[in-house]
Chain A
Amino acid sequence: MEFNLGFLIISVLKIATMLGWIYGLLWALGHTSRTTQVLGTVLAFAVVQFALSVPIGEAALFNDFDQGLLFQACAMAMVVLGLNLIYGFNGQFSLGQWGFYGIGAYAAADVTYRWTGGDARGLLVLGIGVILGGLTIWGVSQLLRRYAGMPVLSAFTLYLIGSVAAGGIAVWSGGILADLLSPLFGTTDAPGLLGSDPALHLVFFLAVIFAGVFAAEVSFLFGLPVLTLGSDYFGIATLGFTIVVNTLMINSDTILPFPEMKGGRGMIGIPKLTTWFWAFLFLVLVIIIMRNLIHSSTGRAIMSVREDETAAKAMGIDVASNKLLAFVIGSFFAGIGGGVYAHFIGFLSPGTFDFLVGFNPLIIVVFGGLGSMSGSIAASFGWIFFLEGLLRVILGQMGTDAPTWRFVLYPIALLLLMLLRPQGLLGRTEWGFLRAPEAEPRDSGEPRPTPVPTGKETREPTMSGAPTIDHETPTLHITGLTKLFGGLRAVSDFDLTVRRGELAGLIGPNGAGKTTVFNMISGLYLPTAGDIQFQGEGTVGMEPFEITQLGIGRTFQNIRLFPNLSVLDNVRIAYHPHAGYGMFDAILRSRRFDARERELTERAQDFLAIFKLERIQGELAKNLPYGQQRRVEIARALASEPRLLLLDEPAAGMNPAEIVTLMELIHFIRDRFDLTILLIEHQMRVVMGICQHITVMDFGQVIARGTPKEIQGNVRCIEAYLGKGAVSAA
């Protein structure tokens, strides 16, 4: 067989051109000047349009085959971006993306197929269905807010009943309306208003959007119960989902009432409406939504769940809701991609949506780099153009059986790339538009006023060093707190009262149960018995994120930062519950988003400045030495705007000089932010130096309480805990 070198060179050039084109598009979108953004985007569109339509010699620069690859790559990029949101950014391993892609494709195709046949029913039923479905989901969620703590399955049942009812209403009302509209289509010879070409294109646009929303709503219902599983089980469950969707497609004409989908034979006659304009439009739309979401408080909350769920909860982030959110938006993108895909070849076969093919987006997302949007887009284009385009044709020239070798070469190519670049093509780098907007470092010249918590009254720092303690209302009041781990009595009948403004210490031998007490106060452990009152409100049974939002912040003994996020983002995440703007503000980059985002960034930077961390705001948390990580963690806890701050061994890993600074800092923040502080610490210098009241635990019980002086004189404490040296040193 003859090997065509010319073809190879041209193909490689095409791939390189496409990657360069993506880079250029992202550069233009990310430019500071609005004119460049618009012109650049239009130019990016026009260049490809030119290549598709202007002939060179006998064929266009991009022939029909290339055009197919191009549209396929656009659709794939949308699917992969969605999957990256779910898997790369949120950390939930999903194999369901292909199922949602299929749902989007079939839903959108059915709408336009019927429309070209003079039937508005598809559009009306889908449109009314997704709108009513959305309203139902919103309504039920508002209702559930009043009954906090409802089991997931009960909530799911409510949502399901509501959605099925909405679907029923949609089918009924859509049918009636469609009959009313049918005369407006006219005949083939004399098309009416609805039969016209512009109407069809509008319907196509609506169909794709509705199909995306439909996929999103299905993912909501599916994800609500299933996301409570751990990530591995979630992966299996989503694989099952894709198989179910595929089976339904194969039997769409028998068990489902959609004869036009023709089951396993495949749906033909779908209008070929996806032009370069539409593919480009939807791709840019998805890119913009994705980027605006990721670089916002919502995006940071989504990433924090991937990094450390426990720490996310302690920052007041509702982990379950954020998982669901990422899953729903990711599925929305998949649905849109499916709608675009369905309309460029005019044929849908269930084989395309087989779960084995569904591994493609997973491979692409890993290959491009988990957590890199640019990587997802570049890898989608590269994958389609290289493997489907170049390799298939080249192998095809070598013999009729050769294309089968693709399925040997793909995995080998992938293995090699994974071995050589395990973090993916781009790792976590982003191009142009997708890069995080840089936060101006806080310049040391003009000091801003120290940050003040919002919406909460503050007190001027008392200069005397002896802050006034409000003896009337205890900030924290614990009675009879008990925790059993199996047979082990970790905490037993523990009482503690911390007054407002107090700096209290909790000390005791290792394994005495101190951290267990902290975990119960912050809601990570449910007490076996006992009561915890915070500012007069019982907190037992509340979710950790609710307790944080109520005003209890904490740090962890073994440091739980979000390792792969920057120092600044670690602190900014704590503002999520008070961000003051919602997801849609972020996606639309509203004025409120700009103002609030700037404000919370500045405030986070102020906290960093207090802890002398402003110079390293861009470093990843995992790259910091231990002592700095501790300071970031305290800054992050403060940013969650607590009234009560729980510090678990803040001085661990610090040298004596750093400990002195830390003590000053603790005093400073207590006064500045009107905090009540409870700390666990083994450094007697810290405990005896700053605590006003100390509680000593041993074997889960309180063995002594008192002022530092009293504790130092307590024989039992000396024997159990302090040792003689510590007393003399303190």
Chain B
Amino acid sequence: MLLDVRDLNVYYGAIHALQGISFTVNEGEIVTLIGANGAGKSTTLCTISGLLRPRRGSIRFQGQDITMLPAEQIVRLGIIQVPEGRKIFAPLTVRENLEMGAYTRENKAEIQQSLERVFASFPRLKERINQLGGTLSGGEQQMLATGRGLMGDPTLLLLDEPSMGLSPILVEEIFRIIQEINAKGTSILLVEQNAHMALSIAHRAYVLETGRIVLEGPTREVREDPQVKAAYLGID
């Protein structure tokens, strides 16, 4: 078991945002969290990556308890988050942004290799390599954020809405890329509003409602659940 989350409770002030959720990610898996806005999906990712602190519960990664580790150490263990809303470094160039993603790595040759891989996945970024991140269009920034995440050579990649702001053709592309990354051995925890696409590429899914997991299982089953169909797939 790669990631083991147990009874996670997170609060924003008085608001009980995560009310004891437990789930796992196995080696080589794509696991998706789906749920409405405010269900706690992003909160879950931010708690795993150490940006938020749980009040109760534990997070184990490769058997090690990382619940209280600071975010920068969690990155070094191989968990990398691509945050919602891009959060790229606006005054840095595309290349510098990507290099920041490899901040924890030493081997120059390997970094170069990752860079080539990112450019192969997102040719647009190569075209804009010397442009400042802040001047990219929204969709390009999303590509940059995902590319930056890949530069850290993650063992577990936390993706928060990777398709947001991407054109339809790129949405298909990004999900293809996610599968590709996964095929090369990276496990993925995916949060996505595009539940249709997320469920079509993930192995297992968890459905969150107001801070609780209400449904879990292989995506085949989750996709057929009538409530999921109505609430998240927009199929009556």
Within 8 A of A (CB), among B139-194: 139-140, 142-143, 161, 164-172, 193-194
Q: Are A626 and B85 in contact (CB under 8 A)?
A: yes
Answer yes or no: B70 CB below 8 A from chain A CBs.
no
Q: Which of B97-105, B111-119, B226-234 contacts A (4 or more CB under 8 A)?
A: B226-234
Which of A557, A625, A627, A653 is packed against the most chain B CB atoms within 10 Å?
A625
Q: Are B42 and A721 in contact (CB under 8 A)?
A: no
Q: Are B167 and A509 in contact (CB under 8 A)?
A: yes
Q: Are B84 and A626 in contact (CB under 8 A)?
A: yes
Q: Are B234 and A627 in contact (CB under 8 A)?
A: no
The residues of B that contact A624 with a CB separation of less than 8 Å are: 38
Cβ 8 A contact of A515, one of B137, B168, B171, B193: B137
Q: Are B166 and A510 in contact (CB under 8 A)?
A: yes
The smallest beta-carbon distance between B10 and chain A, in angstroms, is 13
Chain B, 103-132, contact with A by CB distance < 8 Å: what is the 0/1 string? 000000000000000000000100010010
Within 8 A of B (CB), among A612-629: 623-628
Cβ 8 A contact of B169, one of A557, A559, A726: A726
Q: Which of A200-208, A335-343, A411-419, A654-662 contacts B (4 or more CB under 8 A)?
A: A654-662
Given contacts A511-B137, A511-B139, A626-B84, is CB(A653)–CB(B37) below 8 Å? Answer: yes
Given contacts A627-B37, A657-B231, is CB(A511)–CB(B168) below 8 Å? Answer: no
The smallest beta-carbon distance between B141 and chain A, in angstroms, is 8
The residues of B that contact A654 with a CB separation of less than 8 Å are: 37, 193
The residues of B that contact A659 with a CB separation of less than 8 Å are: 234
Assembled-state Cα–Cα distance A485/B131 (Å): 11
The residues of B that contact A713 with a CB separation of less than 8 Å are: none
Answer yes or no: B18 CB below 8 A from chain A CBs.
no
Q: Are B86 and A657 in contact (CB under 8 A)?
A: no
Answer yes or no: A35 CB below 8 A from chain B CBs.
no
The residues of B that contact A655 with a CB separation of less than 8 Å are: 34, 36-37, 193-195, 231-232, 234
Chain B, 35-73, contact with A by CB distance < 8 Å: what is the 0/1 string? 011100010000000000000000000000000000000
Cβ 8 A contact of B165, one of A508, A510, A628, A721: A510
The smallest beta-carbon distance between B111 and chain A, in angstroms, is 26
Answer yes or no: B74 CB below 8 A from chain A CBs.
no
Given contacts A511-B137, A511-B139, A627-B38, is CB(A653)–CB(B161) below 8 Å? Answer: yes
Assembled-state Cα–Cα distance A722/B169 (Å): 5
Within 8 A of A (CB), among B182-228: 193-196
Q: Are A657 and B85 in contact (CB under 8 A)?
A: no
Given contacts A509-B167, A511-B124, is CB(A625)–CB(B135) below 8 Å? Answer: no
The residues of A that contact B167 with a CB separation of less than 8 Å are: 507-510, 682, 721
Answer yes or no: B91 CB below 8 A from chain A CBs.
no
Given contacts A485-B135, A623-B12, is CB(A657)–CB(B168) below 8 Å? Answer: no
The residues of B that contact A514 with a CB separation of less than 8 Å are: 137
Answer yes or no: B136 CB below 8 A from chain A CBs.
yes
The residues of A that contact B143 with a CB separation of less than 8 Å are: 510
Q: Are A684 and B86 in contact (CB under 8 A)?
A: no
Q: Are A652 and B165 in contact (CB under 8 A)?
A: yes
The residues of A that contact B196 with a CB separation of less than 8 Å are: 656
Chain A, 695-717, contact with B by CB distance < 8 Å: what is the 0/1 string? 00000000000000000000000
Closest Cβ neighbor of A507 among chain B residues: B167
The smallest beta-carbon distance between B114 and chain A, in angstroms, is 22
Assembled-state Cα–Cα distance A657/B34 (Å): 12
Closest Cβ neighbor of A516 among chain B residues: B137
Answer yes or no: A399 CB below 8 A from chain B CBs.
no
Answer yes or no: A119 CB below 8 A from chain B CBs.
no
Which of A513, A627, A659, A682 is packed against the most chain B CB atoms within 10 Å?
A682
Closest Cβ neighbor of A557 among chain B residues: B138
The residues of A that contact B164 with a CB separation of less than 8 Å are: 652-653
Q: Are B169 and A721 in contact (CB under 8 A)?
A: yes
Q: Are B193 and A653 in contact (CB under 8 A)?
A: yes
Within 8 A of B (CB), among A498-517: 507-515
Answer yes or no: A723 CB below 8 A from chain B CBs.
yes
The smallest beta-carbon distance between B115 and chain A, in angstroms, is 20
Given contacts A509-B169, A511-B124, A626-B85, is CB(A558)–CB(B37) below 8 Å? Answer: no
Within 8 A of B (CB), among A634-690: 649, 652-660, 682, 684-685
Assembled-state Cα–Cα distance A703/B181 (Å): 33
Q: Are B195 and A656 in contact (CB under 8 A)?
A: yes
The residues of A that contact B85 with a CB separation of less than 8 Å are: 558-559, 626
Assembled-state Cα–Cα distance A558/B128 (Å): 20
Which of B12, B34, B85, B169 is packed against the most chain A CB atoms within 10 Å?
B169
The residues of A that contact B137 with a CB separation of less than 8 Å are: 510-515
Q: Are A723 and B230 in contact (CB under 8 A)?
A: no
The residues of B that contact A513 with a CB separation of less than 8 Å are: 137
Answer yes or no: A437 CB below 8 A from chain B CBs.
no
Assembled-state Cα–Cα distance A558/B139 (Å): 11
Assembled-state Cα–Cα distance A581/B195 (Å): 48
The smallest beta-carbon distance between B166 and chain A, in angstroms, is 6
Answer yes or no: A445 CB below 8 A from chain B CBs.
no
The smallest beta-carbon distance between B99 and chain A, in angstroms, is 21
Cβ 8 A contact of B170, one of A488, A509, A657: A509
Q: Are B170 and A625 in contact (CB under 8 A)?
A: no
Q: Are B165 and A657 in contact (CB under 8 A)?
A: no
Q: Are B168 and A682 in contact (CB under 8 A)?
A: yes
The smallest beta-carbon distance between A524 and chain B, in angstroms, is 14
Q: Are A649 and B84 in contact (CB under 8 A)?
A: no
The residues of B that contact A657 with a CB separation of less than 8 Å are: 36, 230-234
The smallest beta-carbon distance between A380 and chain B, in angstroms, is 28
Answer yes or no: A455 CB below 8 A from chain B CBs.
no
Given contacts A657-B232, A722-B168, is CB(A628)–CB(B138) below 8 Å? Answer: no
The residues of A that contact B166 with a CB separation of less than 8 Å are: 510, 682
The smallest beta-carbon distance between B235 and chain A, in angstroms, is 8
Q: Are A557 and B140 in contact (CB under 8 A)?
A: no
Cβ 8 A contact of B233, one of A488, A656, A725: A656
Assembled-state Cα–Cα distance A512/B34 (Å): 30
The smallest beta-carbon distance between B145 and chain A, in angstroms, is 12
Assembled-state Cα–Cα distance A491/B64 (Å): 52
Closest Cβ neighbor of A559 among chain B residues: B85
Assembled-state Cα–Cα distance A682/B171 (Å): 9
Assembled-state Cα–Cα distance A654/B166 (Å): 14
Assembled-state Cα–Cα distance A726/B196 (Å): 12
Closest Cβ neighbor of A685 among chain B residues: B234
Chain A, 7-39, contact with B by CB distance < 8 Å: what is the 0/1 string? 000000000000000000000000000000000
The residues of A that contact B139 with a CB separation of less than 8 Å are: 509-511, 682
The smallest beta-carbon distance between A510 and chain B, in angstroms, is 3
Assembled-state Cα–Cα distance A572/B165 (Å): 28
The smallest beta-carbon distance between B197 and chain A, in angstroms, is 9
The smallest beta-carbon distance between A82 and chain B, in angstroms, is 31
Assembled-state Cα–Cα distance A557/B86 (Å): 12
The smallest beta-carbon distance between B175 and chain A, in angstroms, is 10
Closest 3 CB pairs of A and B: A510-B139, A627-B37, A656-B234
Name 26 interchain pairs, CB-CB below 8 A, sorted by A: A509-B139, A509-B167, A509-B170, A510-B137, A515-B137, A515-B138, A558-B85, A558-B86, A623-B12, A623-B15, A625-B37, A625-B38, A626-B84, A627-B36, A627-B37, A628-B37, A628-B38, A649-B138, A653-B37, A653-B193, A655-B36, A655-B195, A656-B234, A657-B234, A722-B169, A723-B172
Query: Which B residues are within 8 Å of any A CB, using their own CB?
Result: 12, 15, 34, 36-38, 42, 84-86, 124, 128, 131, 135-140, 142-143, 161, 164-172, 193-196, 230-234
Query: Which A residues are within 8 Å of any B CB, using their own CB?
Result: 485, 488, 507-515, 557-559, 623-628, 649, 652-660, 682, 684-685, 720-723, 725-726
